[in-house]
Structure 1
Amino acid sequence: MLRRAGNAPCAVYAARGGSVLETEWPPAFNGPLSVGTAMATVFFDVKHDDFTYAVDGRLVSAFSVFAYSCREGVEPDPLEAAVLELGLDRDERVEEPVAAALELAGRATGVYLSAADFVRPSGQVAVEADSG
């Protein structure tokens, strides 16, 4: 289903292990999440390259994909082994940053994207959310 969140269009659809929310604007983690809920965000555009991971409404890890050394979140980082394996710790020298960040999101949440997930499912209808 394609909806608008404020002025930003977004799409929500199923992926292996959960759901995907696709939006044109950087997602903001504002907590709280439902108990037992994990959320990872990956956002890339001309000005942003962000990864965020939260569980049960608590920020676990957030960083620029090109500046892991400036990471925020709990210590120690429960994703550190995967970050190292995927090469996301190499500030500014990350190879395949989008693929690595999406893989980290999948490992963190169990929701994995395939190439087919980047093509919106057919039959979606654009709707305007209530403005007030």
Structure 2
Amino acid sequence: MARILLTDDEEAVRGFVQRALEMDGHQVTQAFDGADALDKLAAAPAPYDLLLTDIRMPMMDGIALALAAARDHPETVILLMTGYADQRERAAGLDALIHDVVTKPFSLAQIRTAVADALGSRAERLIA
């Protein structure tokens, strides 16, 4: 199905989300922070279909990552995750660059639905 780069500094969240997305047949690569994700985006032999990233992380946060990814990999859809209202507000100004922001905590069904919706928007964008 889709190639997804999952970025979160919490190992438990990465594992939970990866298992959920692999249930839908997606190929998931993990990154532990924004800098690691940028390295993986640059080294990928083909573009990722989706960048799913937490906003609040050490080193490089998800907002900085989204800005760099949108600039260097415009074909990749960006979906943000956060458990903090102030971080969600920071992301509000990125509407042109990101698909949506998923609020933590989320259920297995919620993250799978959010990813399916984001990937659907990518397909529509490619057809247009």
Q: What TM-score bracket applies, with the shorter chain setting the length? A: 0.3 to 0.5
User: Whose strand fraction is larger, Structure 1's or Structure 2's?
Assistant: 1
TM-score by length of 1: 0.33
